[in-house]
């Protein structure tokens, strides 16, 4: 169960640069033939923070934040809405899976159906983007175009369903109302109750890491919030693009985030290192966090030969052990989002 929710959290929305946007997202995942997990799971995210969930086992929505529970207590109609949606999901999802299995001529007993709905609201410009997207067995199936109130079929097998849904104008008008009015209203309510948590700013701890003396130098930032952040390398004040690899923003267990950006220094002489610096930028904070490239502050698990013990025998054994450690290195796993993403209202 926890693994499934974690997987859903990685299918998060992407924010561009420092634009201050807030979001409400409903992730639904239904499965057929998958053992040891509920038939369906629904999670609610506000600004990518898990605030509530329900599944086919409990069938009663549960809040995951104290301030979200306070909102439910003050607005009991929201709880009733979530209970109704949770209970109705079981039969609807089974019907969707059976329909898609026939339509796509899928074989086998294991199938996954996903739906992602919600909206983004820019509290500075007032811009609203809504999204509805369906996926089956990990592939996009249908995407709602808010501008034309029609459906986009990424796969030829989905064209039949697209035409059927395009003709259901009242349903598409309801989606428009929900995405452009009801959803943004809910975002504002959630933000009002959870602003001390959701709108906080936490600065990161920034470190320079290197596996071996010949490896790229990784500028690693952890413990920051929100995730609307950027990292880059600069040389003489100019942003670098070559020999730079930017990692994904990943969640920490405490709700904060981490990210890194690597710089390959294979063609840079030691005398030039002082011209390089790592820059961390986060939404809502004017000043950048700058870390100068300094060999003395780089953290590594490798020890130079001059630090080996003097005794030939002990030095040889310890030297081999240290070599093994250097080969192992310090690995910072990066995951890249392979899940489906929302389409803006202008996407075609």
Residue-range domains of the chain with CATH: 2-198 (3.30.500.10), 205-300 (2.60.40.10)
pLDDT confidence of residue 217: 97
pLDDT at 7: 43
Tell me the average pLDDT across 102-115: 77
For residue 339, the model assigns a pLDDT of 41
- The residue among 323 and 163 whose pLDDT is bigger is 163
pLDDT score for 105: 67
Specify the DSSP element, H or E, that contains 69. Answer: helix 66-74
Q: How confident is the model over 132-179, as pLDDT tens digits?
A: 999 988 889 999 999 999 999 998 888 999 999 999 999 999 999 999
pLDDT(234) > 70: yes
Q: Of 49-53, 56-60, 85-89, 238-242, which one has max mean pLDDT?
A: 238-242
Residue 219, strand partner residues: 208, 261
Average pLDDT (303-329) is: 41
CB 154 within 8 A of CB 143: yes
How far are the Cα atoms of 200, 214, 326 from residue 21, in angstroms, in the given order? 14, 40, 43
- The tokens 């504002």 sit on which residue? 188
For residue 201, pLDDT over 90 is answered with yes
- The pLDDT score that the predictor gives to residue 148 is 96
Closest CA to 136 of 118, 151, 119, 157: 157
Give the integer Cα–Cα distance in Å for 156 and 247: 34
């Amino acid at each position: 169960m926890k693994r499934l929710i974690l997987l859903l959290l990685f299918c998060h929305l992407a924010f561009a640069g420092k634009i201050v946007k807030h979001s409400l997202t409903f992730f639904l995942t239904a499965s057929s033939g998958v053992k040891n997990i509920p038939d369906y799971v629904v999670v609610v995210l506000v600004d990518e923070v898990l605030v509530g969930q329900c599944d086919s086992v409990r069938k009663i929505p549960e809040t995951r934040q104290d301030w979200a529970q306070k909102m439910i207590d003050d607005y009991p109609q929201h709880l009733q809405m979530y209970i109704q949606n949770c209970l109705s999901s079981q039969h609807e999802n089974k019907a969707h899976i059976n329909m898609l299995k026939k339509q796509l001529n899928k074989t086998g007993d294991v199938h996954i159906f996903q739906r992602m709905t919600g909206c983004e609201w820019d509290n500075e410009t007032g811009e609203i983007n809504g999204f509805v997207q369906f996926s089956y067995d990990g592939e996009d199936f249908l995407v709602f175009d808010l501008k034309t109130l029609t459906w986009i079929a990424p796969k030829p097998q989905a064209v039949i369903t697209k035409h059927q849904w395009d003709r259901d104008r009242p349903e598409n008008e309801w989606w428009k109302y929900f995405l452009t009015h009801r959803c943004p209203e809910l975002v504002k309510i959630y933000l009002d109750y959870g602003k001390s948590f959701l709108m906080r700013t936490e600065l990161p701890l920034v470190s320079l890491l290197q596996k071996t003396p010949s490896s790229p130098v990784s500028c690693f930032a952890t413990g920051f919030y929100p995730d609307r952040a950027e990292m880059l390398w600069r040389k003489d004040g100019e942003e670098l693009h070559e020999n730079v690899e930017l990692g994904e923003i990943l969640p920490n267990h405490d709700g904060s985030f981490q990210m890194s950006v690597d710089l390959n220094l294979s063609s840079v002489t030691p005398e030039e290192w002082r011209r390089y610096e790592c820059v961390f930028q986060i939404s809502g904070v004017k000043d950048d966090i700058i870390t100068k490239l300094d060999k003395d502050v780089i953290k590594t698990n490798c020890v130079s030969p001059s630090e080996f013990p003097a005794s030939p025998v002990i030095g040889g054994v310890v030297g081999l052990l240290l070599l093994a450690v250097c080969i192992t290195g310090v690995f910072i796993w990066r995951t890249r989002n392979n899940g489906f993403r929302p389409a803006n209202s202008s996407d075609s």
